[in-house]
Amino acid sequence: MISDQELSYLVDCKERIDDFGKMENFDIFISAFNDSERVKHVFANVCASEKFWWILPEYGYSAEDLKSIGKLEKFLNGLAENEADLVIGGMKQSGLEDPSLLSVCIDITGFMRPHIFMLLKYFQDKKAKSLTVIYSEPERYSRGADTDFSLKDVQDIRQVSGFEGMHNPETDRDVLLLGVGYDHNLMGQAIRYKESARLLQLLSLPSLTADMYQESLLRLDRVDTDDLDPPGRTEQFCSANDPFIVAASASKLYHREVQNGGITNFYLCPLATKPQALGFGLFYMRELVNTASSVIFPFPRHYNKETSAGFGRIWRYPIVF
């Protein structure tokens, strides 16, 4: 069991942003461009010496589409599809090959979940001077429980680059920790991919709003696993917008399984909010490196450019490595 000192990174230190004018001026700010009002609002209001839009291939923007970006704003197009290559290439183009002397702020709202893991790894490996992560909640999702985020064209289910772990040939006590979200198609594929593993489900509560929690449960009910017989399921509720509490909850579930007979291979699959993915990443990097643990993800080829309406609360997460 890890000590209280080692758990210090899990202390809840998220902050709500009500006035961007009261935030510091960062050296560099990075955001993934999409059509969401909440993404554009944060980009326009964060104070930074340089700001960069990253154009992700999953959104499928054409040159014509990108004419909507302001002429004075810097945007990076032609980024790689693989999450590791994308982050490394994007950092080079953004002048962040050596972030040790720079204050960096990243809005993860428009990024894909595997990108979030790679961003964390990059800044930890490069010993960033400071890293601040921002996430903006939607006022609501555009089609409620029927909102589609990915476009159901999964090209691969695999481990996230840099989070492959050491595989244990014994598999009798494999465990899958699934972050439950709206993408019932992706959840079903992840469960099938590790159908022999004991299933732990982390559900978002308190959720962004009460109706979003209900919508998430509706999507969970659509997961087609009738022909599967998973070896035991456990559900736990956790914050949807607090990565530090998510990390603490994941840690608790992991160590409980270790004490109750052990784990052969441990798999994490974040399919809820971006802060939940951030929490999974923090937990993995502090406790699971060099173990038989890996992050798996069903990789769709494309994501919808806009899935939300308006913007709600905006959160700031200071990251300490």
Nearest to 271 by CA among 131, 107, 157: 157
Confidence at residue 5, expressed as pLDDT on a 0 to 100 scale: 44
pLDDT for the residue 111: 96
Query: Which two three-digit tokens encode residue 239?
Result: 């914050």
**Domains (range + CATH), the chain:** 6-141+306-319 (3.40.50), 145-300 (3.40.50)
Nearest to 116 by CA among 313, 286, 280: 280
Q: Among 202-216, 237-251, 265-279, which stretch is predicted with the lowest mean pLDDT?
A: 202-216
Q: Is the pLDDT of residue 22 over 80?
A: yes
pLDDT tens track for 36-89: 899 999 999 999 999 999 999 999 888 888 887 876 678 999 899 999 999 999
Question: What's the pLDDT tens digit per position in 112-132?
Answer: 999 999 999 999 999 988 999
Question: What is the pLDDT at residue 311?
Answer: 77
- pLDDT band for 145, please (50, 70, 90 cuts): very low
Residues 6+ apart with CB under 8 A from 155: 299, 300, 301
| Per-residue confidence (pLDDT) for residue 158, from 0 to 100 | 93
Q: Answer whether residue 274 shows pLDDT above 60.
A: yes
Q: Quick one: DSSP state of residue 146? A: G
- In this structure, are residues 174 and 205 in contact, taking their beta carbons and an 8 Å threshold? no
Instruction: Tell me the whole-structure pTM to 2 decimals.
Output: 0.86
Distance between CA atoms of residues 214 and 209, nearest Å: 9
